[in-house]
Every structure is written in structure tokens, then in C-alpha cells.
Amino acid sequence: MNIDKIKKEVEVELKKLQNDRDCGAFHQKYLGKSGEVTLLVQSLRDIEPSKRAEAGAMFNALKKDTEEKLRKIQNDIKQREQTEKLMQDPVIDITVPKWGPGGVPLVGGLHPITLVIREVEEVFKGMGFIVESGSEIATEYECFDSLNSPKNHPSRDMQDTFWLSDGRCLRTHTSAWQNYILKKYGPTFRAISPGRCFRNENLDATHETTFFQVEGMMVGEDISIANLIYFMKTALTAVFKKDIKVRLRPGYFSFVEPGFELDARCIFCDKGCSACKQTGWIEFCGCGMIHPNVLKEGGIDPTKYQGFAFGFGLTRLAMMRWGIKDIRLFNSGNLEFLGGVK
């Protein structure tokens, strides 16, 4: 038998296959018990012994190549038929992507909050920070007592808390994870903890009951406010990809002393706009040196170690990043809005 003749014939016939029926007929003709490729392999016994090894290698290679090409064509046909059926089927399968022009699937993308979280994590990991995730359900001790806010402390009134029937609550801030991190990594560490928080807010363009924050802490010997300013400026510059100036104003938070409000130079203007309320500065986050009582609750000696803490809104950061005016859009499921954020 002429192997080159059969090989060329196989290549021509493979290109003609359009459906399962064609593939079945091809298999029977070339790879079945009496198929031409099969008979070619069986004809080895009629070949001169000295040439049998070389011929056997050629025959087996042809058989293997033919089987692989047929298998690939069968898989392509199966996938094409499934696609055609799904496009014609009136039943909606939510696991299948929407099909665009030319049968190209229109795949989804990551939520803008997810994009921001991943970017912030990468920025802080690049500065040596550990990333920790905390539970969205916190005990009263975690959310308040361990943060220098005992019962009847005025600072509790600043947070409209969702309480659960078992005495726990939906955490009002990512600071609820501070005590855990202090005990796990103290007395020297750098860590951030991004996550979702909850407060009983009246909904409007700038207030939501569900929002995202990131908590950050650095503890060690000789840690100062200068370290806080450096890391915040470096992080904001990396996120916004431009040099960002920052400033501190006195602010009250029960778990830091002294406490500050950190403002960032407006990223939208030079002289004043609606985003910065004509001031040129945007209030970005609360921060300060960790209160000695908080360090003690975390098992750290405040006479030997110091640290800073900060917490800023990832939802607000996303709004600044993409110029989003209404915070409610993030939880709306509005595909037109989500598709416009890249």
C-alpha cells in the first residue's frame, strides 16, 4: 500500500467533515477494523523484516495523527452544535455568557469595588504590609470595648449599629479587627484589613447602609506621625498614579491619640471644584497614633511600642477614582453602570 497516497487522501477527507455522521463514516473508512489506515498497519507482516521497523513507525504515526485530528474535529463540531442550540433555545441559561457579533461571547468584568480592593492590597503589600480579612459579624468587645469605647461612651452614638439578637453586631468599621491583628502579629508588624461594613444610614447619593473600608496599622519601636504621613502619601500617589499632597487636621476617634483627619489634595482640580467644595482638599480618612489602651488590650506594652492606625473608605476611593456621583450605584446591579467602569 502507498502510505503517501493514503496520507494525502486522509487530509482531503478530514477537511470535508461537517457533522457527527461524516465523522462516523470517516472513522469506518480509515480507522475501523477494515479501514484503510488499519489495514496499512496490519500489512507490516508482509514487509521485509529489515524494513519493518521503519515502516511500522511511519504507519503508527499516521494512525495516531489521524485519530487526533478526527478527535479535534469531533470536539469542534460538538461545541459548535451546542452553541447553535443555546442561541436558539428560548430557555435562558444564566451560566452562559451573552453572545455578541460573530458569535463572540461577551464576558463580564470585576466589580469596581473589587478592582479598588485588589489595587490597594497590591500597593500596601509592596510596602511590606500583611493583608488580613475579618469577619463581618463582630462582638461588642471587638467593635467597641477593645477600641477604647466602653458602654455609654459618647463615640458609640456616632455609629448607627445593626445589632443581632445574640448580642453581636454587623461591624460598623473595619477597626473591629484591630484587636485580633494586634494579638496575632504584635508587637511589631504592618497589616491592612479590607472589608465590608454596615451602618443604619438614611440612603442618599453619599450614604449607604453597606460600604467598604480598609483598616491599616503599623506597630513597632519609634513609630511616629511622620511614618503615618509617609505611608499614606505613598499609597495615594500609587493608587491615583500622580503625586498627591496630604495634610492632617485634628480629629477625634476613641482608638487613636492624637487623632487626625487626613485630607488629600483634590485630584480633579487645582483651585476648587464641586468635588472638593471649592477648598482644593478632599477629606480622605481618619487616622492617628494608636491609643495606649488599645495597645494594652492587644497585649502590647505601650511604654515600649507605638503605632499608627488609619481607616479609609474603599467605596469613596472608587467614587473619586472614576468620578462616580451616587454611592447607591455600587449595590444597584445596574449593568450599564458596571460595564462603564474599567
- The predicted pLDDT at position 297 comes to 94
Crossing angle, helix 20-30 and helix 49-88, to 10 degrees?
170
- How, if at all, do strands 98-99 and 306-313 pair? unpaired
Q: How confident is the model at residue 181 (pLDDT cuts 50, 70, 90)?
A: very high
Which has the closest alpha carbon to 148: 182, 196, 185, 194? 182
Whether residue 339 is predicted with pLDDT greater than 60 in this model: the reply is: yes
* Average confidence (pLDDT) over 259-277: 82
Which of 57-71, 73-87, 107-121, 300-314 is the most confident on average? 300-314
Buried b (16+ CB within 10 A) or exposed e, 320-331: bbeebeebebbe
Written as nine digits, the cell of 279 is: 477648598
CA distance 201 to 159: 9
pTM for this model (two decimals): 0.65
- The answer to whether the CB of 35 falls within 8 A of the CB of 29 is yes
Split at pLDDT 50, 70, 90, the class of 342 is low
Query: How far apart, in whole angstroms, are the C-alpha atoms of residue 168 and residue 141?
Result: 9
176-211 as b/e: b if 16+ CB within 10 A: bbbbbbbeebbbebbbbbbbbbbbeeeeeeeebeeb
Strands 130-131 and 189-198: parallel
User: What's the pLDDT at 89?
Assistant: 63
User: What mean pLDDT is predicted for residues 315-334?
Assistant: 85
Average pLDDT, the chain: 86
Domain boundaries, the chain: 3-106, 112-339
Distances (CA, A) of 91 to 19, 43, 300: 25, 53, 60
Q: Decide if pLDDT at 284 tops 90.
A: no
What local confidence, expressed as pLDDT, does residue 125 receive? Answer: 94
State whether CATH 3.40.50.300 applies to domain 112-339.
no
Confidence of residue 51 (pLDDT cuts 50, 70, 90): confident
Q: How large is the average pLDDT for residues 151-178?
A: 85
Can you say whether residue 316 is alpha, beta or left, with left for phi > 0 and alpha for psi between -120 and 50 degrees? Answer: alpha
Average pLDDT (42-67) is: 82
Could you give the CA distance from residue 162 to residue 159 in angstroms, rounded to a whole number?
9
